[in-house]
Amino acid sequence: MEPPAPPADAPEEEGVQAAPSASGRNRHLAAMAESFLYALAGMALLLVLWWLGGRLVESNPRMFAFADFAPGPTFARLFEMLGSGEAAEMTAPSLYRVGFGLAWAVAVGVPMGILIGWFGPVGKLTNIPFQFLRMISPLSWMPIAVMAFTTWDGAIVFLIGIAAVWPVLFSTAAGLKRVDPSWFKVARNLGARPWHMLFTIILPAISQDILTGVRLALGVAWIVLVPAEYLGVTSGLGYSINDARDTLEYDRLAATVVIIGIIGFGLDFLCQRAIARLSWHRED
């Protein structure tokens, strides 16, 4: 008896199996292209509305002095600030303050969030006080910050930190409460100590929740930064806006606002990509 010949349709089966992968890539590229086109259309719509608003202001005799808020003068001044290094000079102190404030928020919020999520009595005890403190405007602490810190930078970092700590804290606690309790039972049966549980179960399981809290905290910190820099500092994006307002340089004011938006969008995008890389449900 002759051995059975290999099936004649084997190549077709391999081709059929490879087809969904190519189709999936094509769908992914099409989705990316569609998202890009929508983003371009949204930005174009925003620019058109901005241009129309500038034309209305320019044609109004009572508001003619604010014509430099229009896109033309704004982008001309923006390119000038980028070329001269003024944009980088005003941005560096603000990034330093936001970075330190966010670092303090993470250093306080993550351990406290783990404590609240791990021990139920602690969560019940701190729920009302923390919710009460969270609802107080961060700028309300400005007089206390000025008295408590010897430098303006210290006061601004404190205001940013006290505004950013709550998203990190509550997101960390919520993430820990969603962890399957059977994981901890298995770890205890295997002889894991609390230190091992922290670094092998808790932190990997809630890393995405922590980054989500950091992303929300970054948005809050970036918003609080500008009014906080109205304090006695002589540098930063908030100071530049205040100075441009006082000197009636409205094109520089609008250009600084654009810089704030671009940097904030970029930082949020980086956080979003980091969260996506840690997602357990992402498709390869």
What per-residue confidence (pLDDT) applies to 282? 41
- Nearest Cα neighbor of 157 from 96, 74, 209 is 96
Q: What is the pLDDT of residue 279?
A: 66
CA torsion angle 241 244 250 255 (round to 10): -50
The pLDDT profile of the chain, 284 residues, written as one tens digit per residue, is 455 555 544 444 444 444 446 776 777 777 778 777 888 888 888 888 878 877 777 777 776 667 767 888 888 889 999 999 889 999 999 999 999 999 999 999 999 999 998 888 888 898 899 999 999 988 889 888 888 888 888 999 999 999 999 999 999 999 888 887 777 777 777 777 777 777 777 888 888 889 999 999 999 999 999 888 887 788 889 889 988 888 888 888 989 999 999 999 999 988 888 888 776 544 43
E strand spans, 97-177: none
In angstroms, the CA 100 to CA 131 distance is 24
95-98 LR contacts (CB < 8 Å, sep 24+) = 95/263, 96/153, 97/153, 97/156, 97/157, 97/160, 97/225, 97/228, 97/229, 97/236, 98/160, 98/218, 98/221, 98/222, 98/225
Cα gap 35→48, rounded to integer Å: 20
Q: 275: burial class by Cβ within 10 Å (0-12, 13-18, 19+)? A: middle
Q: Are 245 and 226 in contact (CB under 8 A)?
A: no
Predicted pLDDT at 191: 72
Architecture of domain 70-278: Orthogonal Bundle (1.10)
Q: Within a 10 A sphere around the Cβ of 165, how many other Cβ atoms?
A: 29
What Rg, from alpha-carbon coordinates, does the chain have? 26
Q: Is 33 exposed, middle or buried (0-12, 13-18, 19+ CB in 10 A)?
A: exposed
Four-point Cα dihedral 20, 26, 31, 36, nearest 10: 160
The domain spans of the chain are 22-59, 70-278
Residue 178 CB contacts under 8 Å (≥ 6 apart), including other chains? 209
